Amino acid sequence: MAAVLPSLVLAPLCLLWAGAEVPVQPGFNAEKSAGTWHVAAVISNCSVFLKTKDGMKSSIVTISFTPEGDLAMKLVWPLLDRCQKFELLLQQSGQAGHYMGTSAQEKRDLHVVETDYSHYTIVHELHESGQKPSTVLQLLTREQDTSPQLLQKFKELIPTVGLTKDMLAILPKSGECQEGVGWH
């Protein structure tokens, strides 16, 4: 399960539109999107996510970029008895806001769909591993509190990515897993 958690958090915006390209934030500015974010809401058709979503809490994602423009993500996820840390590096695809990663076990295709840089980011990820491909859409926020308007904006994207509202998890705030506390 530990290997699946990064894909759940980083499956931001796995928009599988029939033959259409996933949109990317126009004029995406990587420097403005760097920093700490909270995972406020996630929707996915991943079977592991669907089984565990009701017990999940908000996690922390730190986003940075390499000098080459690649996306580096560090995630701290609260588990039952500890804080699990994950790291992921995705290569820039040539289009700002679109990143890809491939290994022997999996393939990731991540798009920053929409952001205002200071309050929220909506991310879509298509994740393919040995199982059926999964789609993930995530709402990342700078603060743990999320406005009803922002949640509504996120919910309006659900049908556009081929997912249903019963796959949605609005993650409760968590004081757990602050940077450096209880990391494994």
Tell me, what CATH number does 76's domain have?
Answer: 2.40.128.20
Domain assignment of residue 144, yes or no: yes
Overall number of domains in the chain: 1
Letter string b/e over residues 41-70, b meaning 16 or more CB atoms within 10 A of that residue's CB? bbbbbbebbeeebeebbbbbbebeeeeeeb
Please name the amino acid found at residue 21. Answer: E
Tokens 């040539």 correspond to 94
Give CA–CA dist 172/57, Å, rounded: 5
Domain assignment of residue 154, yes or no: yes
Domain assignment of residue 182, yes or no: no
- Tens of pLDDT, residue by residue, the chain (184 residues): 444 444 444 333 333 333 347 899 999 999 999 999 999 999 999 998 899 898 888 899 999 999 999 999 999 888 777 888 989 999 999 899 999 998 878 899 999 999 999 999 999 999 998 778 899 999 999 998 899 999 999 999 999 999 999 999 999 887 767 654 443 3
Domain assignment of residue 129, yes or no: yes
Q: Which of 46, 2, 54, 12 is nearest to 169 (CA)?
A: 54
Domain span at residue 127 reads 5-170
